[in-house]
């Protein structure tokens, strides 16, 4: 069986995440301790006790979710010797995949995504950017309607057939919502975020991220990582750096990522980290592909039966 590990991004975090698994797998707490040393605050205490508003701030959410995904991966590695054919992650999850694959150390990953979150927030003044999920329209319809908007508006997350996220200037997003409904969208849902991720407004953040990456030494991944924007894998560290910069202002091609994995012979996916968001998306992309989320001791045991 050829399988892949996939890692979730922002939105899957919650106060108390991984608490049950941490009771039986000490590596969970150990991984959070390592991340806390880099960050300079107790990340595990924050994820377990909150406050929720602090956990949901992007410069905290990103290192918290990266650490959680790496911790679950390490729990698997301690129990078996997994040999995934590929790794991938949704948006922030791409960094988690790179840490799990050895391209980045945990310290590098945590430092990078904390900076990424801060740079993203700084790139667009609070209240001027927005995102929304559009359900029930074809990708081409959404792209065309975005092009007609007055201001910056782009399709930025191609999550599943009939589920696309748009991002841009808040005024453009607000003005366009009735147009999506008029075109036949089943639902148009504004998202509770302050940063319009993966659109051209993130270019200043991408340029600053490139400067930070320039001073870092990356390694060739031990497992190929499929990148969000290009849906390609790279062995060269400089190419990986370029992919991470590009990812910040270009769309997350999740549908194409899953289709790519299937074309390479992958028949089973394991989502490592809090929640089951990617499993829900992946079922809409390809119901025939095996899928399992790993986030507590029961799901870890179930995964070990098939790995």
Please tell me which residue in 36, 91, 101, 194 is annotated as part of the active site.
91
pLDDT per residue as tens digits for the range 125-162: 988 999 999 999 999 999 999 999 999 999 999 999 99
pLDDT per residue as tens digits for the range 105-115: 999 999 999 99
Based on the residue annotation, tell me whether 91 is a catalytic residue of this protein: yes
Residue carrying the six token digits 């990582």 = 225
Please count the helices (runs of H) and the strands (runs of E) in the chain. Answer: 14, 9
Select from 146, 182, 142, 145 the least CA-distant residue to 160. Answer: 142
Please tell me which residue in 12, 101, 197, 198 is annotated as part of the active site.
198
> What is the rounded distance in angstroms from the CA atom of residue 164 to the CA atom of residue 231?
17
What is the pLDDT averaged over residues 283-307? 95
pTM for the full predicted model: 0.96
Based on the residue annotation, tell me whether 227 is a catalytic residue of this protein: no
Buried b (16+ CB within 10 A) or exposed e, 257-272: bbebbbeeebebbbbb
DSSP string computed for 62-127? HHHHHHHHHHHHHHHHHHS----SEEEESTTHHHHHHHHTTSS-HHHHHHHHHHHHHHHHHHS-TT
């Amino acid at each position: 069986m050829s399988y892949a590990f996939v890692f979730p991004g922002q939105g899957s975090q919650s106060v108390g995440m991984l608490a049950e698994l941490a009771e039986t797998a000490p590596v969970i707490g150990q991984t959070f301790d390592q991340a806390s040393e880099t960050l300079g605050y107790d990340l595990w205490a924050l994820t377990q006790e909150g406050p929720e508003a602090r956990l949901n701030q992007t410069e905290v959410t990103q290192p918290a979710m990266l650490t959680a995904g790496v911790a679950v991966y390490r729990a698997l590695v301690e129990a078996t010797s997994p040999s995934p054919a590929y790794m991938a992650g949704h948006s922030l999850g791409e960094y988690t995949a790179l840490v799990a694959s050895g391209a980045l150390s945990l310290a590098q990953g945590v430092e990078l995504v904390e900076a990424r979150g801060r740079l993203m927030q700084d790139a667009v003044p609070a209240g001027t950017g927005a995102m929304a999920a559009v359900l029930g329209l074809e990708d081409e319809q959404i792209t065309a309607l975005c092009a007609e908007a007055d201001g910056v508006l782009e399709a930025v997350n191609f999550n599943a057939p009939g589920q696309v996220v748009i991002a841009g200037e808040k005024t453009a997003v607000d003005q366009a919502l009735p147009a999506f409904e008029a075109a036949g969208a089943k639902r148009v849902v504004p998202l509770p975020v302050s940063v319009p991720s993966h659109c051209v407004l993130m270019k200043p953040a991408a340029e600053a991220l490139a400067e930070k990456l320039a001073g870092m030494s990356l390694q060739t991944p031990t497992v190929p990582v499929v990148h969000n924007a290009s849906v390609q894998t790279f062995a060269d560290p400089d190419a990986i750096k370029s992919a991470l910069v590009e990812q910040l202002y270009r769309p997350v091609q999740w549908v194409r990522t899953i289709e790519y994995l299937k074309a390479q012979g992958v028949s089973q996916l394991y989502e490592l980290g809090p929640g089951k968001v990617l499993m829900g998306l992946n079922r809409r992309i390809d119901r025939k592909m095996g899928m399992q989320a790993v986030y507590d001791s029961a799901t870890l045991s179930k995964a070990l039966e098939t790995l």
